[in-house]
Structure 1
Amino acid sequence: MTDERGAELLRRGGGPRRATFLELFLDVVFVFAFTRVSQRLIHDITVGGRRLPLDLAQTLVLLLALWMVWSLTAWATSHYDPDQPPIRAVMVWSMFGSLVMAVSVPEAFDAHGLSFAAGYVAIQVGRSAYLSLALRRHAQRHLSDRILVWSAVSAVPWIVGGLVDTDARLPLWAVALVIDYVGAVVGWPVPSLGRAKASAWTVTAEHLAERYQQFIIIALGEMIFISGVGFSTSEFTLLRWLAFADAFATTVLLWRIYFHRAGSVLAEAVAEAAEPARLGKSATYTHLAMIAGIVTTAVGFELVIAEPTGHIDPVRFAAIFGGPALFVVGRARLEYEVFGRVSWSRPVGLLVLVLALPVLVRLPLLGIAVSATAVLTGMAVVDALRARGRPPEHPATPM
């Protein structure tokens, strides 16, 4: 393959700027993957007992692994042309590997540890190795070469963790994730090649922003799925109807708060940034926080629907109230990344959540969920009032 052929794999000015249908197809796999993570988290909370901290740490490792796979795939299709056959092959390969990981999630720290690790390593190592081969002598090959080296290093604790006893699996996989995330943060430095600077990874602003937006929709869809399944398999009592309606209202509020206004102009902010890739990388971890908040909120509503008059404990409280709080923290960071400031309603809303703790702990689960929804409603109302009669605010990213 010549340098010219390698250059054809890169995005060009006239190439597609929106997500392709194949990318949306990949997202379907992650809808399923997120339901597996949520169900595992629900199981952790309801039957965890003494092992609960360990079970929660295990579930967090699985979520971080899935997010790493999705985010690097999204970056690859924003840097390379997703209509080129080699990039489509990478997408299909990532899709199957993600599906293997998803079906392994429930027993990933038991009988299916090796299949989860193998799916992850196959995607991470396979993607970079294939791109390095496809690019050959093109200068952009050095980017995939760096990622390949780091992925190969982290593959060792991933595979070993899948083979050893389950008690040793968590620390090994945690080490592997640290390697992967540190590599992404520092630019995968390799001797003789150095590290990849942000400017080396050119991104298509509209495409990358759209992928983040679509994943938020995926997480919100998973929240509807979890609450819907939980409600449909229970008795239709009045309190459960109220819990189900509150879950739907919270889902709409999270959607509203995200897309007004920072989420909707993220593409413009990335395009106007002095270093678009730097903003894109920062937004990766911002969206990870919001995704984790949405998943936790979905689990909280599953618990509320199952037992609306149940008494609170620290773990259930963290799910019902901590999920929305984590989402708001991530959303506040996104607002800073896009506009260089944070609306006062965000810290005030979080402060209200903290100050209300002495009262909230005396309420049943449904009362706590409704209180969290009320705080989110206040934020959405403040957003609407602030924008009323004013021209749309344009991005002013500090990056």
Structure 2
Amino acid sequence: MAARRGAELLRPPTSSGRATFLELFFDLAFVVALTRLSQRFADLRDDTGWVLVEGFGRTLLLFLGLWLIWSHTTWITSRYEPERAVIQAVVVGTMFAGLIMAVTLPRAMEERALPFAVAYLTVIVVRPLVIAVALRGHPRRLVPLRLATWAAATAPLWLAGAWGPERLRLPLWAAALAVDYVAWALGWPVPRLGASAVNRWRIAGTHLADRYQQMFLIALGESVLVIGVIFSGTDYSTERAAAFTVSFVTSALLWRIYFYRAGLLLTEALGRAGMPGRLGTALERTHLLIVFSVIVTSVGYELVIDDPFGPPRPTWLLFVVGGPVLFLLARVRLEHEIFGRVSRSRMIGIVALLLLTPALARGAPMVGLSVVAGVLALVAVLDALRSRARPSEVPSPPIGRATSGDRDPEA
């Protein structure tokens, strides 16, 4: 009887699988978080050497913490019925914790470390316990119990980093976050209970595709917000107007390159995969890179619009060129996951940017951003030429093919 009541939380076969309005509401907290992250990156504009590396590492760690929260929530709403009151309460509670993490981000590695860590731990420890209780006697309750066990094990590292000396915060939190990610990859193995590999879970593929596409658009929207805010807050000039225009064109090209065509076919690819959980796991890692690359690129917009023809600095090169290179690398990975091939046009773009980097390092930021936009436009044109007069491709993901022994009673 308890197992039957717990089964009511699972997504029924008749579920549409589409993302709900509640989840879009939930994403608003992460809109705030992404703007705060880009601001932390922008604050590194005058740093060099080890100070720049450490500052970049601190902000990257905060992003990875936020991504883990968002990804876990996405998988929860992909496996459980989001119309159930318990799941809705979990999503809203996670949104509040995410908002706390967002508002503490500007100083989360400094004096606001404790509220950031407590909000993170509340989600990663308490949330799975709530779900486990709601599942009652259903076999799936063991999955959140495993997750809570591992999260509780890393909690002392998070709290020690928040309360301890600031110089120890980065290594302690990096160790804790590394364990959280490794545990997720291994399926949170626990003595006697074993592990529950995420790539063997039963998921709503349509829902997962929706969420990844939406998160990419949120990151892209944040970049557009940066363009508008920075340009509206500076003195108007022809040079800044040109930087504003090129920045927008670059964002539009990122949108085009992502959705043509692999990004557009996530739903169909997950539907064709015998084990959609396996493909979904790979897509999660790919979209982590894609979203992060868009954030990094948006910081480049801010630096260029603020001073289009200022002196060349290593910092702006990291964002203006490094962000698009990482985006193209992640997009190559996405192409392979959807079609089982390597994208030649994107490889051409990566090689072109890497070869041009030494020359761009000696030029003005505006020149670098314009060259990046030109290379991205070349990638988009090559894509269009390749598909001209050809029938639309059908996804053939090499990841997610079912084999014997893939079924998991807890999945």
By the TM > 0.5 criterion, same fold? Answer: yes
Paired residue for 1:365?
365
Paired residue for 1:25?
25
Q: CA RMSD in A?
A: 1.3
Paired residue for 1:267?
267
Paired residue for 1:211?
211
CA distance in 2, matches of 1:50, 1:273: 44
Cα deviations by residue, 1:125-174 (Å, 9 ceiling, x for unpaired):
12111011111210111111111111111222112211112111111100
Q: Does the CA-based 8 Å contact 1:48-1:55 persist in structure 2?
A: no
Cα deviations by residue, 1:58-111 (Å, 9 ceiling, x for unpaired):
101100000000011001000111011110011011000000100110111111
Paired residue for 1:254?
254
State how 1:150-161 maps to structure 2 within 5 Å. 150-161=150-161
CA distance in 2, matches of 1:216, 1:391: 27
Q: Does the CA-based 8 Å contact 1:131-1:144 persist in structure 2?
A: yes
Distance 1:20 1:370, change over 3 A: same
Superposition deviation, residue 309 in structure 1: 0.4
Superposition deviation, residue 359 in structure 1: 2.3
Paired residue for 2:64?
64
Distance 1:50 1:359, change over 3 A: closer
One-letter code aligned to 2:392: P
Superposition deviation, residue 50 in structure 1: 5.5
Paired residue for 1:340?
340
Cα deviations by residue, 1:349-382 (Å, 9 ceiling, x for unpaired):
1111111123222220000000001110011111
Give SS of 2:194's match. coil
Superposition deviation, residue 52 in structure 1: 2.0
Q: Does the CA-based 8 Å contact 1:198-1:275 persist in structure 2?
A: no
State how 1:231-380 maps to structure 2 within 5 Å. 231-380=231-380
- Aligned pair 1:142/2:170, yes or no? no
**Higher mean C-alpha displacement, 265-274 vs 300-309:** 265-274
Paired residue for 1:381?
381
CA distance in 2, matches of 1:340, 1:47: 41
One-letter code aligned to 1:147: L
Cα deviations by residue, 1:212-263 (Å, 9 ceiling, x for unpaired):
0000000000001111111111111111111100111011110111011001
CA distance in 1, matches of 2:123, 2:312: 41
Give SS of 2:332's match. helix
Give SS of 1:140's match. helix
Give SS of 1:356's match. helix
Paired residue for 2:129?
129
| Identity score, percent | 45
CA distance in 1, matches of 2:150, 2:387: 46
- Structure 1's unaligned 5+ residue stretches are none
Distance 1:43 1:117, change over 3 A: same
Paired residue for 1:51?
51
Superposition deviation, residue 48 in structure 1: 6.6
CA distance in 2, matches of 1:373, 1:321: 10
CA distance in 1, matches of 2:110, 2:316: 25
Distance 1:280 1:234, change over 3 A: same
One-letter code aligned to 2:68: M
One-letter code aligned to 2:77: T
Say how many residue pairs are matched.
399
Paired residue for 1:201?
201
**Higher mean C-alpha displacement, 153-162 vs 240-249:** 153-162
State how 1:39-188 maps to structure 2 within 5 Å. 39-46=39-46, 51-188=51-188
TM-score (norm 1): 0.98
Paired residue for 1:222?
222
Superposition deviation, residue 21 in structure 1: 0.6
Give SS of 1:226's match. helix
Q: Does the CA-based 8 Å contact 1:121-1:151 persist in structure 2?
A: yes
Give SS of 2:293's match. helix
Superposition deviation, residue 318 in structure 1: 1.1
Q: Does the CA-based 8 Å contact 2:31-2:222 persist in structure 1?
A: yes
Superposition deviation, residue 282 in structure 1: 0.8
Cα deviations by residue, 1:167-200 (Å, 9 ceiling, x for unpaired):
1111110011101110111111111111113465
Give SS of 1:325's match. helix
CA distance in 2, matches of 1:362, 1:168: 37
CA distance in 2, matches of 1:318, 1:312: 11
One-letter code aligned to 1:352: A
CA distance in 1, matches of 2:202, 2:194: 18
TM-score (norm 2): 0.95
Distance 1:199 1:311, change over 3 A: closer
One-letter code aligned to 2:55: D
CA distance in 1, matches of 2:166, 2:44: 16
One-letter code aligned to 2:267: A
Cα deviations by residue, 1:300-330 (Å, 9 ceiling, x for unpaired):
1100000100122222101100000001111
Cα deviations by residue, 1:266-306 (Å, 9 ceiling, x for unpaired):
11111211221111011111001111110010001100000
